[in-house]
Amino acid sequence: MMKCKKRVLTLLLALCMLLSLAACGSKDKGDDTQQLSATVYVPEFLSLDLDILGKNYNISGGCTDGTNVYLLAYVYPDYEAGEEGDSRTLLIRFPLDGGEPTEMKNFQSGSSEEDGAEVNRNFNSLRTGIDGSLWLEESTYSYVFDLPEDFDEETDSKYNYTTDTVRKEYQVQLDSTGTEITRIDTSDLQEKAGVEGRYQNGLLVDKDGDIFITDSQKIVVLDSSMNVRFTVEDSNMRGGSLVELSDGSIGATVYVTDAANQSTTAQLRTIDKAAKGWAEKSYDLPLYASYNLYSGGGDYLFYYMNGDALYGYRAEAEEGKPQEQRLLSWLESDINADNISFFSFLSDGRVVVMTESWYGGNDDITLPLLSIGGSGVISVWANVMPRECHDLVMDYLEGRREQAAAAAVKYLPLMNGLFMEGNPIPVKTALNLMGRDVGPFRLPLCEMAPANEARLRALLEEAGLLG
């Protein structure tokens, strides 16, 4: 039976600042390429206070402007514990200098009454603009109810009497206090732009308020009133993603095929709004790096990842230096690149990285998972040996790795034995054999096969769990 895995965001607990470059083996200090290719960033993990979010929350977006980290967090009461109240979205600012996190109270969220309708708001895709503002996507759902005279909210739901529902989408710009300064209704954008669909990163608003949308075959540029200004069509576009360069231009990836050499290369091309088409300048990219483009900053127009390495593309070529420059290796910096949510370079050369942490659901691979950045395990084995499971994880995370490895090897046969039949049949059988009396099976579950139960009993005896 398949064993489940669960991914859990622990964003701020995994926030790290990669400290200044430390040269490792480069003797020629004048050769910037050699020096950077042999340098390592050392992560300093910051433990930030999440109490401001309460006990129940989901992270729906995040970004950094190099001075603060901003998070969108959906918070809700603990209904099972009898808590009351409304769910809402908070915008939280965490200073990177170690200051206290604060809620940006000018940010308006939650439900409201408008023109006789209840309006619920959802937010996601938080990002920073090049002017220091914040952009996010907002979806609203307006409900109109026709409640009966004897309606009782204690025993009935008003949503059973919904007569009309309207969904709207917006691009919203906020200033540094969380106050809304721009709202663009994009509900009918795809229809007006004539695109059949868009990907997650297929919509951007530039510094002039113009809207760019792509469906991977064309880019449509509209003004803030939703009037189409022009369209750039190119059958060589792929991926459906847009990126904002540090100079404010908007770009997309184009693939160029050389039929004679039977090869394909990738280019980042930008939109020239004055010419209403592609700009003359293009930027060559490694083929697979075109799916991992990021907005630039400082000396770099944009960043891209190629394999494990992060590169920056210089805005201006410098004599003796390549225009595209390898900046760091995530692996050498003890960061799992697959878990990165976003990153940003600070003015002093440090890097702020927000990562996702993983909790595994396979007891037999807990140790390997921890070794590549995992944070714990959603465990079956812990039902029968909770202390040992806890100690294995904490021994590894706190540096007692030989002890963790010894425990993993010692109890591996039992971990695997708990899956000799479909979960949770073996673990429930084990608990009953241990005298925990967790009761009989209910259909479609059934008793273990006698031969398998005998094998499980032997494994429990070997682990010292049976008298």
Domain count of the chain?
2
What is residue 449's predicted lDDT score, i.e. its pLDDT? Answer: 85
Rounded CA gap, 427 and 435, in Å? 13
Residue carrying the six token digits 């990907």: 199
Mean pLDDT to the nearest integer, 276-300: 84
Q: Answer yes or no: do 14 and 100 share one domain.
A: yes
What is residue 13's predicted lDDT score, i.e. its pLDDT? Answer: 31
What is residue 197's predicted lDDT score, i.e. its pLDDT? Answer: 63
- Tell me whether residue 414 is in a domain: yes
What is residue 329's predicted lDDT score, i.e. its pLDDT? Answer: 81
Q: Answer yes or no: do 120 and 203 share one domain.
A: yes
Last residue of a domain, one of 333, 358, 383: 358
Tell me: pLDDT of 305 over 80: yes
- Tell me whether residue 370 is in a domain: yes
Kindly state the DSSP code that residue 302 receives in the 8-state scheme: E
- Note whether 383 and 374 are within 8 A (CB): no
Q: How many CB atoms lie within 10 A of CB 4?
A: 11
* Apex 8 CA angle, 3 and 9, nearest 5: 160
What is residue 361's predicted lDDT score, i.e. its pLDDT? Answer: 67
- Tell me whether residue 467 is in a domain: no
Tell me: pLDDT of 231 over 80: yes
What is residue 356's predicted lDDT score, i.e. its pLDDT? Answer: 61
Q: Answer yes or no: do 143 and 28 share one domain.
A: yes
Last residue of a domain, one of 358, 389, 405: 358
What is residue 274's predicted lDDT score, i.e. its pLDDT? Answer: 95
What percentage of the chain reaches a pLDDT higher than 70? 83
**H-type alpha helices, 398-434:** 401-417, 425-433
Rounded CA gap, 429 and 455, in Å? 12
Mean pLDDT to the nearest integer, 351-360: 68
Q: Answer yes or no: do 420 and 271 share one domain.
A: no
- Tell me whether residue 253 is in a domain: yes
Q: Answer yes or no: do 294 and 385 share one domain.
A: no
Q: Answer yes or no: do 315 and 337 share one domain.
A: yes
Indicate yes or no: pTM above 0.95.
Answer: no
Q: Answer yes or no: do 87 and 215 share one domain.
A: yes
What is residue 34's predicted lDDT score, i.e. its pLDDT? Answer: 31
- Tell me whether residue 321 is in a domain: yes
What is residue 386's predicted lDDT score, i.e. its pLDDT? Answer: 93
Q: Answer yes or no: do 120 and 139 share one domain.
A: yes
Rounded CA gap, 330 and 42, in Å? 10
Tell me: pLDDT of 272 over 90: yes
Rounded CA gap, 365 and 399, in Å? 18
Q: Answer yes or no: do 166 and 25 share one domain.
A: yes
Rounded CA gap, 386 and 182, in Å? 52
Q: Answer yes or no: do 307 and 451 share one domain.
A: no
Beta-sheet pairing, 357-360 with 6-8: antiparallel
The 3-state secondary structure of 106-174 reads CCCCCCEEECCEEEEEEEEEEEECCCCCEEEEEEEEEEEECCCCCCCCCCCCHHHHEEEEEEEEEEEEE
Phi, psi of 172 (to 5 degrees): -120, 130
Q: Answer yes or no: do 221 and 320 share one domain.
A: yes
Last residue of a domain, one of 332, 358, 384: 358
Mean pLDDT to the nearest integer, 426-445: 89
Rounded CA gap, 161 and 350, in Å? 55
Q: Provide the mean pLDDT of the chain.
A: 79
Strand order in the sheet with 357-360: 6-8, 357-360, 376-377
Q: Answer yes or no: do 172 and 239 share one domain.
A: yes
What is residue 155's predicted lDDT score, i.e. its pLDDT? Answer: 87
Task: Tell which residue, 45, 52, 60, has the closest CA to residue 12.
Answer: 45
What domain range is 351 assigned to? 6-358
- Tell me whether residue 423 is in a domain: yes
- Tell me whether residue 237 is in a domain: yes
- Tell me whether residue 345 is in a domain: yes
